[in-house]
Amino acid sequence: MAQNPQLFGNGMPVPFIGEMFVLARDGVEFEVDKIPGASGGHVKAKGTIYLSNIRMVFVAKKPVGNLVAFDMPLLYVHGEKFNQPIFFCNNISGFVEPVVPDDQHRALYSTHSFKIMFKEGGCGTFVPLFLNLVASVRRHNQHAIYPTSDAAPRVDPLQAAQTPVEDMMRRAYVDPNDPTKIFLQQPAGESQLRRRAYHPQAPENSY
C-alpha cells in the first residue's frame, strides 16, 4: 500500500514504466483501515478503482482528510475474497501489506484491511479479472513472501510488471450489468513522464 500516488489532472494514476492498465470501475465505495490522520484510522469513500498488471488504485471522488488515492500493489494483496451477502451489496474484502520505505523499519507499518463495495451495477466483469490477475501475479512471482515479521524480506512490487495480461483481457467475459471500462488501448501515451519508484506523494501534489 502507498497513500496518495501520483495522478494525472483527470484522476488517472500516472503509470510506472511497463505498467498496463486493464480496467477502471466507477461507482464503488472503498473502505480501508490504519490510515494515519483519519478518525480512528478508518476511511470510507466513494470513487473509482483502477486495475493494472502491477497494482489496484482507488481514487476518491472527494478527498477524505489527507486521503486522495490509495495504491495497492498486487504482490502485497492477500486474503482476498468475493462476498455476496443477502442483505448488502456484493463486495471484495482482503488485506494489503504496506510499502515500507528503504530507510524505515517494517515494525512501524501495519497490514491494512480493505473492502470494495459494488453499489452501482454488477461486478461480473471486474471480479473475475481482479481475482485472475492477482493469482497470475503470484504464479509469476512465487518467491514473493508477505511481510509478517520484522525480518521478512522486502519484495519489489514492480516485479508484477512481468505478468502477461493481454491474453487475459482478450478472453475477459464482459457482464452487460457491470459498468467496468476495459482499456483496449492505454489511456496515457508513451510520451508521458512515468514514475520509476514506489514512493507515496503528498496530497497537494496528487492532482
pLDDT at residue 137 in the model: 87
Amino acid type, 137: V
- Could you give the CA distance from residue 202 to residue 69 in angstroms, rounded to a whole number? 11
User: Bridge-partner residues for 73, per DSSP?
Assistant: 55
- pTM for the full model? 0.82
Given this model, what pLDDT does residue 151 score? 42
Q: Give the three-class secondary structure for 168.
A: helix
pLDDT averages per 10-residue partition of the chain, 207 residues: 86 89 94 84 93 94 90 93 92 90 71 94 91 87 55 61 68 79 69 56 45
The residues spanned by each domain of the chain are 2-192
**What CATH number matches the domain at 2-192, 3.30.479.30, 3.40.1710.10, 2.30.29.30, 3.30.43.10?**
2.30.29.30
* Phi, psi of 129, rounded to the nearest 5 degrees: -65, -45
Distance (Å, rounded) from C-alpha 205 to C-alpha 9? Answer: 10
Give the pLDDT score at 154: 57
The predicted pLDDT at position 77 comes to 93
Please state, in angstroms and rounded to a whole number, the distance separating the CA atoms of residues 153 and 40: 29
